[in-house]
Chains A and B, each alone.
Chain A
Amino acid sequence: MGRRMTFPPLWLDLRTMGWNFSFPLVAHLGIVLYLYLGQGGRVGMLTEKTILGTIGLWSPLLITFWIVGLYQDWFESDGKEALLALPYKSWAFGIGRVLRTTALYGFFVWGITRLLFLFSSDRGVSQMWWTILAASILFFAALAFFTVALTRRLVFTYMLVAVFSLGEWVRVYSTSLRVGYSVPSDRTVAFNPFQAASPLPGANPLRVALILFIVSLLLLFLGQLFVNRREYLLK
């Protein structure tokens, strides 16, 4: 008796995404080129602040494409009924695949960030920054998963994530400029999905990462509740 697998092969999960898989990769290469050429192609001019600000903003957002791509055939194709009748394990199909894909994406972003630091004279990326970046990526993965499971429509998912992100970015950026908002204290429950790019002044970074992590778990759990209901997914 051969070995049975719970998850579909990772390479096939990625292949089925189509352009949703390629787009974040191309966008990251674009970021590398932009930052490299932005300093006149010279090595050593790129600052840590620029790298962290750019990666911290765009990398978490771009994971949306992978998560949506992961579920496009399951939620929005003509033959999704055939897939919904398969004996997959719901948790593996939902949270399991999201975490597996997010881990791969995180590894890719880590590689891109290390690559960018080759163009910089700065070398120090703190463990805390990596933690916050990981929490931000997980948050956007969970948000995309929850939204795509809720709406079962790719376009709605992209729109909702875009509107949410824009609103959050404006809020965070305004706060960081101390315009119109009170500055959070070290003990404030500060929510900031862009902490890696634009830290809230005064907010405890570990606390922010922890909040992002908890909210991510909540979104993953809620998304999973929708995924467990095959009749809902068929609608």
Chain B
Amino acid sequence: MIIQIERVKKAFKKKTALEDVTLTLKPGIFGLLGPNGAGKTTLMRILATIFRPDRGSITADGIDWTRDAHRVRTMLGYLPQDFGVFRNVTAREVLVYIGTLKGVARDQLKHQVNAVLDAVNLTTHADKKVGTFSGGMRRRLGIAQALLGDPKLIVIDEPTAGLDPEERVRFRLLLRRLAQEERVVILSTHIVGDVEAVCDQLAVIKKGKAHLFASPEELAKVADGQIWRWVGDIRDYALLEEKYRIVSSVSRGSTMEARILSDTQPSEAVEPVAPTLEEGYLAWVGE
């Protein structure tokens, strides 16, 4: 399945959230990066058929998102930023409820519920009320419900927010597994590490406009010749911070190591280095 997003526009009253967004999403994991308020969530909601675009179209295998919204929903797994529903019932009951609405056949429902609970490591908590869950556990339950019904398209908004490092690694592995089954998985995030770890393709969205990159490496290259490594006395670091844009720094006893984003060489004391994905992203969004 290839999803074609063509010149999608969405505005809320006078504020334009998306402006002529055109993207092609192939099977695999597609990362959508962008600062807060850039329009990522609006695009996610359009892909999840909750919002309708004001203009433009989204199609895949002859299915049109506006005309065949119900059909899109039957092949969709969606996890929004927050998942705090059905606090009065157990995790297993939540999944039975959602699985039923997703049209999972009654004789397969129990098996599927057990499988997704296992996939997100919630089997031992399956019969506890959702109201007693921590933020990370609710997030995992949200992922589990998105996986029900074997969706061809999975849309996940800020997937690893609220997960601890162990859960984050587990989730990334799970995503990789999912993408091997000819699915399109779309991640919206502002955590560059998530994209670096799992995404095959990506786009950066800035002020409602999206730019497609063929690979994470291509985005990293945006900062080619703009990243400089500085090593010096910790007392000089404060001055450096005032004058230049520091993208990362590490303290090593009395010395500091910093990476600077600058179009020109900041000083004699720095050396050019290869940019990371995060640096490419920062150079692109210009923040």
Contacts and interface: CB of A to CB of B under 8 A. Distances in A.
Contact of A230 (B50, B89, B98, B106): B50
Contact of B100 (A8, A81, A84): A8
Q: Which of A73, A78, A81 has the most CB of B within 10 A?
A: A81
B74 to A, nearest CB: 5
Contacts of A79: 80, 82-85, 138, 142
A82 B130 CA distance: 15
A82 B85 contact: yes
Interface in B40-80: 45, 48-52, 70, 73-74, 76, 78-80
A16 B78 contact: no
Interface in A1-42: 1-5, 7-9, 12, 15-18
Interface stretch (A85-93, A152-160, A216-224): A85-93
B8 to A, nearest CB: 15
A71 B251 CA distance: 53
A15 B88 contact: yes
B146 A73 contact: no
A83 B93 CA distance: 14
A29 to B, nearest CB: 21
A127 interface: no
Q: Which of B51, B52, B85, B87 has the most CB of A within 10 A?
A: B85
A16 B84 contact: no
A77 interface: yes
Interface in A53-110: 73, 77-88
Contacts of B84: 77-79
A85 to B, nearest CB: 4
B105 interface: yes
Contacts of A43: none
Contact of B105 (A2, A12, A17): A2
Contacts of B244: none
Contact of A78 (B48, B83, B89, B98): B83
Contacts of B89: 12, 15-16
B238 interface: no
8 contacts: A2-B108, A12-B96, A15-B88, A16-B86, A79-B85, A83-B101, A84-B50, A88-B101
Given A12-B96, A86-B73, 15 more contacts: A1-B105, A2-B105, A4-B105, A12-B89, A16-B86, A16-B88, A79-B82, A79-B83, A82-B85, A85-B76, A86-B98, A86-B102, A87-B103, A231-B50, A234-B45
**Top 10 closest pairs, chain A to chain B, by CB:** A2-B105, A78-B84, A87-B73, A2-B107, A18-B88, A78-B82, A79-B83, A81-B80, A85-B78, A85-B48
Interface of A: 1-5, 7-9, 12, 15-18, 73, 77-88, 230-231, 234
